[in-house]
Amino acid sequence: MSIDDVDMDHEDEGAVTEKPGPGFLFRRKGASARKTVTFGDASEVSGSPMWSITALITLMAVWYLIKMGEEPLVNDRTFPSQRQTLDAFIEFWSDGYRRVSLWDHTYASLNRVIKGLVYGIVLGVPVGFAMGLSNRLRGFFDPIVELLRPVPPLALLPLFIVWFGIGESSKVNLLFFAAIWIMIIAARAGVLGVKGSKVHAAYSLGANKWQILRYVILPNALPDIFTGVRVALGVCWGTL
């Protein structure tokens, strides 16, 4: 593994590109030709919190209208009312489910997700860094990552039960499998996204390879890594 293998063929930091990013773009009325807003970017759309609140209120109102009256449109067994849902939640909160409290269920789920995610970060980030820094290691690990990454974790559940049993280890290892590929890809993308001009500038100031890794590559790769953590956390919850 060598930092010398980092791809230096990036655009200069001050360069200006006219190529639009991915996704649909639209221009605001009266805005200049260079001012574009990415479709779906809530930070650029005024009043988006109000629209979210309005959507929530509308959903609750439709729910109430469907269940109002002595003969609602949908029976309670198929679609319970708001009152029934609230009563069931209060009962579940106080009495638990099958003699296990809500907090015990919550703790068990959090424990599994956190363990699987942490294991995926601890192993996935170093492997991703190695792939980003070394062309040889990237060539070695890429086929493995691209082969296993698309596999749905739940599709391997029978194998994990056979390998690790029905206890906590099989659940944690399944979540680890769900998280590690995301973290590898995120760390690799973060390293490969470091601008070559920054690395050259650090070299010109007398930095050695480890200083470049610590002060240049790692800070610039952190946004991609944190994005990977966010995505991996969602995948772990979905797999759980």
Within-domain flag for 226? yes
Within-domain flag for 203? yes
Within-domain flag for 93? no
Give me the residue label for tokens 């609602």. 72
Could you tell me the CATH number of the domain that includes residue 104?
1.10.3720.10
* Structural domain total, the chain: 1
**What pLDDT is recorded for position 57?**
92
**What pLDDT is recorded for position 115?**
94
Q: Cβ distance 43 to 49 under 8 Å?
A: no
CA atoms within 13 A on the CB side of 151: 17
Within-domain flag for 132? yes
Segment 123-129 shows an average pLDDT of 93
Within-domain flag for 219? yes
Q: What are the pLDDT digits (tens) for 55-69?
A: 999 998 988 888 777
- Say whether pLDDT at 38 is over 70: no
- Say whether pLDDT at 11 is over 50: no
Tokens representing 16 are 């200006």
Q: What are the pLDDT digits (tens) for 170-202?
A: 999 999 999 999 999 999 999 998 888 888 888
Q: What is the mean pLDDT of the chain?
A: 80
Q: Cβ distance 117 to 233 under 8 Å?
A: yes
Identify the residue with better confidence: 72 or 129.
129
Output the pTM of the full model. Answer: 0.68
Q: Cβ distance 236 to 113 under 8 Å?
A: yes
User: Where residue 105 falls among pLDDT bands split at 50, 70, 90?
Assistant: confident
Within-domain flag for 103? yes
**DSSP collapsed to 3 states, the chain:** CCHHHCCCCCCCCCCCCCCCCCCCEECCCCCCCCCCEECCCHHHCCCHHHHHHHHHHHHHHHHHHHHCCCCCCCCCCCCCCHHHHHHHHHHHHHHCECCECHHHHHHHHHHHHHHHHHHHHHHHHHHHHHHHHCHHHHHHHHHHHHHHCCCCHHHHHHHHHHHHCCCHHHHHHHHHHHHHHHHHHHHHHHHHCCCHHHHHHHHHCCCCHHHHHHHHHHHHHHHHHHHHHHHHHHHHHHHC
Within-domain flag for 195? yes
- Say whether pLDDT at 7 is over 60: no
Identify the residue with better confidence: 37 or 178.
178
- Say whether pLDDT at 117 is over 90: yes
* Structural domain boundaries, residue 182: 3-20+99-239
- Say whether pLDDT at 109 is over 80: yes
Within-domain flag for 198? yes
